[in-house]
């Protein structure tokens, strides 16, 4: 069982303490392997797609549980897709970076 903890490199939440605590729960209470990865502000969609693909490829066993935890702002777009953003004001203009629209193919392989 492997956990990928995601957050933005730059954000307005100061979420690192929360991620550290959650990582400790997964590692010490459940004995899960964990990895933290920061979503970059430059080309976040491409970088996140590549990271999720690499994460799935590295853990292809059908018996392995993969958990992806995202610590950041999230909202549904007008098209009903999940949008992740580094800053809360990014939702007022979704063309403004950094924000990522999560596509089903990004999380299901």
CATH of domain 2-108: 3.40.50
| 73-76/82-85 β-pairing | antiparallel
Q: Is the pTM of this model over 0.75?
A: yes
Is pLDDT above 80 for 55?
Answer: yes
Q: Report residue 89's pLDDT band, with 50, 70 and 90 as the boundaries.
A: low
- Higher-confidence residue of 45 and 104: namely 45
Q: Per residue in 18-36, pLDDT tens? A: 999 999 999 999 999 999 9
Q: For 21-41, what is the HEC assignment?
A: HHHHHHHHHCCCEEEEEEECC
Residue ranges covered by each domain of the chain: 2-108
CB atoms within 10 A of CB 6: 21
């Amino acid at each position: 069982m492997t956990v990928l903890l995601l957050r933005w490199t730059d954000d307005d939440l100061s979420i690192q303490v929360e991620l550290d605590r959650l990582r400790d729960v997964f590692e010490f209470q459940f004995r899960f392997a964990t990895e933290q990865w920061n979503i970059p502000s430059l080309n976040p969609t491409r970088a996140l797609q590549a990271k999720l693909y690499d994460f799935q490829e590295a853990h292809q066993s059908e018996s392995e549980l993969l958990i992806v935890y995202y610590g950041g702002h999230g909202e549904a777009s007008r098209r009903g897709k999940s949008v992740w953003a580094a800053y809360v004001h990014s939702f007022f203009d979704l063309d403004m970076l950094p924000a990522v629209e999560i596509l089903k193919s990004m999380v299901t392989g």
